[in-house]
Amino acid sequence: MNSNQRSDADHAANIRCILSDVDGVMTDGRIIYDAAGLETKRFHVRDGLGIKLWMQSGFAFGILTARTSPMVDRRAKELGITAVKQGYEDKWPAAIEMMASLGCTADQVCYIGDDLPDVPVMQQVGLSVAPADAARDVRETADWNLQGLGGEGVLRELIERLLRAGGRWEEHVRRTA
């Protein structure tokens, strides 16, 4: 059965960890510098809640990005994400280290990315995912192409889809109702 014929539940069954790129996934991919030369980033609040719900469900979440930004450290700290690797243009070796530290194997990992440096990781993990506005080669590599755009809640869309497929979403809805 090819990847596109598998159900969401089949895809999600073995996933224990999400590794995410930042620019183009957690943000809209724009790099903005203010008048003082400081970089700013916009993060979507629903992504933040989704990440917290994912981790509350007992799963791991990590950030893996080619760039380095204090804004990423700040956002990770706000969300309780301790697995953060910045400044890794060659992402696969960094992903291997991160998986080892999180106690998971490649087939247990979902990776979401939007551009060419993400493809080597996407080709090795259990579930590869791309935002709707990802580069063409990334979308063609991905098992799942999401409806949302990078920086506009696409991580929440992914996490909700995974948790629903695993029968865990409703418990979060009940707790907040």
Average pLDDT over residues 3-17: 87
CATH class of domain segment(s) 9-176: alpha beta
Residue 45 and residue 152 in contact, taking contact as beta carbons nearer than 8 Å = no
Helix (H) or strand (E) holding 83: strand 83-86
Average pLDDT over residues 19-32: 95
7-11, 16-20, 46-50, 143-147, range with the lowest pLDDT: 7-11
pLDDT at 4: 59
Please determine, for residue 13, whether its predicted confidence score (pLDDT) is greater than 60: yes
pLDDT at 2: 47
Please determine, for residue 22, whether its predicted confidence score (pLDDT) is greater than 60: yes
Question: The whole model's pTM is what?
Answer: 0.93
CA distances from 175 to 51, 56, 135, 165, 169 (A): 16, 12, 37, 18, 10
Which of 164-171's residues contact partners 24+ apart within 8 Å by CB, and which partners? 164/8, 165/7, 165/8, 165/9, 165/11, 165/12, 165/13, 166/9, 166/12, 166/13, 168/57
Question: Could you read off the pLDDT of 31-89 as tens digits, one per residue?
Answer: 889 899 888 899 999 999 999 999 999 999 999 999 999 999 999 999 999 999 999 99
Question: Could you read off the pLDDT of 81-130 as tens digits, one per residue?
Answer: 999 999 999 999 999 999 999 999 999 999 999 999 999 999 999 999 99
Higher per-residue confidence, 1 vs 173? 173
Please determine, for residue 177, whether its predicted confidence score (pLDDT) is greater than 80: no
For residue 23, say whether it is annotated as part of any ligand binding site: yes
Domains of the chain by residue range: 9-176
pLDDT at 168: 87
Please determine, for residue 1, whether its predicted confidence score (pLDDT) is greater than 70: no
User: Angle between the 154-165 and 169-176 helix axes, to the nearest 10 degrees?
Assistant: 110
